[in-house]
Amino acid sequence: MEFWSTLWAVVFVLCLLLFAGVAVYVSVGAIGDIRALFRKMGKRDGDAKADPQG
C-alpha cells in the first residue's frame, strides 16, 4: 500500500504542476489564435460580399 500511496502522491503533484504550465501557455497563446480566427472569417465574409457570384 505504501508503494501505491507514494506513487499516486507523486503522480498527482507532477500532473498538477504540468497542467498549471499548460494552462498558462494555452490561455495566453489562444488569444492570438482567436484573433486569427476572426480575421480569417471576417476576411472571407468581406470577399463574399465583394464577389456575390462566388
Partner 1 sequence: MPSLTSNFGTLDWLIVAVYMAATVGVGLYMNRYIRDMGDYIVAGRSLKSRLAVATMIGSELGLVTVMYSAQKGFTGGFAAFHIAVIAGVVTFIVGMTGFIVVPLRRLGVMTIPEFYEKRFSRGVRVFGGLLLAFAGILNMGLFLKAGALFVTGLTGLTDPNSVAVVMTVMLALVIAYTIMGGMVSVVITDYIQFVVLSFGLILTCGMAVYALGWTTIVETVASVHGEPGFNPLLEGSGFGPSYIMWMIFTAGLVSCAVWQTSVMRACAAESVAVVRRLYRWSSIGFLIRFMIPQFLGICALTYFFNMPEFRGFFFDETGSPTADPTMTLQAMPLFLSQVLPTGIIGLVGAGLLAAFMSTHDSYLLCWASVLTHDVVAPATNERLTTRWQLTLSRVFISVIGLFLLVWGLWYDLGQDLWDYMAVSGAIYFTGAFTLLLAGLYWKRASTVGAYLALIAGIGAVAGLGPVNKTLGLGMYRSDEIGLAVTALALVLMFVGSLVFPDRLDRGDQASWAERAQQEGWDGQADKADKADQADRADRPDRLDRKGEA
Site of interaction with partner 1 (CB under 8 A)? 1, 4-5, 8-9, 11-12, 15-16, 18-20, 22-23, 25-27, 29-30, 32-34, 36-38, 40-42, 44-45, 48
Torsion of CA 6, 9, 12, 18, to 10 degrees: -80
CB of 23 to partner 1, least distance (A): 4
d(CA 47, CA 10): 54
CB of 25 to partner 1, least distance (A): 7
CB of 2 to partner 1, least distance (A): 9
d(CA 23, CA 28): 8
